Structure 1
Amino acid sequence: MAGADGDDSLYPIAVLIDELRNEDVQLRLNSIKKLSTIALALGVERTRTELLPFLTGIQLRYIHMSLCLSPQPPLESLATVEETVVRDKAVESLRKISQEHSPVDLEVHFEPLTLVMPTLRQAAEDKSWRVRYMVADKFSELQKAVGPEITKNDLVPAFQNLLKDCEAEVRAAAANKVKEFCENLPEDSRETIIMTHILPCVKELVSDTNQHVKSALASVIMGLSTILGKDNTVEHLLPLFLAQLKDECPEVRLNIISNLDCVNEVIGIRQLSQSLLPAIVELAEDAKWRVRLAIIEYMPLLAGQLGVEFFDEKLNTLCMAWLIDHVYAIREAATCNLMKLVEKFGAEWAQNTIVPKVLGMANDPNYLHRMTTLFCINALSEVCGQDITTKQMLPVVLKMSNDQVANVRFNVAKSLQKIGPVLDSNALQTEVKPVLEKLDTDTDMDVKYFAQEAISVLALA
Structure 2
Amino acid sequence: MGLSPLVGKDQTIEHLLEIYLALLKDECPEVRLNIISSLEHVNKVIGITQLSQSLLPAIVELANDSKWRVRMAIIEYMPLLAEQLGIEVFREKLSALCLSWLIDNVYSIREAGIENLKKLVEKFSPKWGEETLLPQVIALVKDTNYLHRMTTLFAFNHLCLVCTPECVNNTFLPIVVDLATDNVANVRFNTSKTLIKMKPKLEQSLIKSKVLPCLEIMKTDTDPDVRFFAIEALQAFE
- TM-score (normalizing by structure 1): 0.51
1:260-409 pair list within 5 angstroms: 260-409=39-188
Q: Offset of 1:408 from its aligned partner?
A: 0.3
Q: Does residue 252 in structure 1 map to residue 31 in structure 2? A: yes
Q: Distance in 1 between matches of 2:184 and 2:15?
A: 58
Runs of 4+ in 1 over 2 A off after TM superposition: none
Q: Distance in 2 between matches of 1:253 and 1:353?
A: 28
Q: What's the counterpart of residue 455 of structure 1?
A: 234
Q: Offset of 1:271 from its aligned partner?
A: 1.1
- State the SS of the aligned residue for 1:223: coil
Give the one of 211, 222, 228 matched to 1:443: 222
Q: Distance in 2 between matches of 1:270 and 1:392?
A: 37
Q: Distance in 1 between matches of 2:86 and 2:126?
A: 16
- State the SS of the aligned residue for 2:133: helix
Q: Cα RMSD (Å) of the superposition?
A: 0.7
**In the TM superposition, what whole-angstrom CA distance separates every residue of 1:406-425 from its partner, at most 9, and x where no partner exists?**
00000011101111111121
Q: Offset of 1:236 from its aligned partner?
A: 1.0
Aligned-partner residue type, residue 440 of structure 1: K
Q: Offset of 1:258 from its aligned partner?
A: 0.5
Q: Distance in 1 between matches of 2:143 and 2:13?
A: 47
Q: Offset of 1:260 from its aligned partner?
A: 0.6
Larger Rg: 1
Q: Does residue 422 in structure 1 map to residue 184 in structure 2? A: no
Q: Distance in 2 between matches of 1:312 and 1:376?
A: 19
Q: What's the counterpart of residue 189 of structure 2?
A: 410
Q: Offset of 1:458 from its aligned partner?
A: 1.8
Aligned-partner residue type, residue 287 of structure 1: S
- TM-score (normalizing by structure 2): 0.99
1:60-99 pair list within 5 angstroms: none
**In the TM superposition, what whole-angstrom CA distance separates every residue of 1:261-308 from its partner, at most 9, and x where no partner exists?**
101100111111110011011101101000000000000000011011
**In the TM superposition, what whole-angstrom CA distance separates every residue of 1:98-132 from its partner, at most 9, and x where no partner exists?**
xxxxxxxxxxxxxxxxxxxxxxxxxxxxxxxxxxx
Which of structures 1 and 2 has the larger relative contact order (alpha carbons within 8 angstroms, sep 6+)? 2
Q: Offset of 1:430 from its aligned partner?
A: 1.1
Q: What are the ranges of 5 or more consecutive residues in structure 1 without an aligned counterpart?
A: 1-221
Q: Offset of 1:366 from its aligned partner?
A: 0.4
Q: Offset of 1:394 from its aligned partner?
A: 1.0
Aligned-partner residue type, residue 359 of structure 1: I
Aligned-partner residue type, residue 354 of structure 1: L
Q: Distance in 1 between matches of 2:104 and 2:26?
A: 25
1:167-246 pair list within 5 angstroms: 222-246=1-25
Q: What are the ranges of 5 or more consecutive residues in structure 2 without an aligned counterpart?
A: none
1:50-129 pair list within 5 angstroms: none
Q: Distance in 2 between matches of 1:399 and 1:270?
A: 45
**In the TM superposition, what whole-angstrom CA distance separates every residue of 1:370-398 from its partner, at most 9, and x where no partner exists?**
00000001100110021111111111111
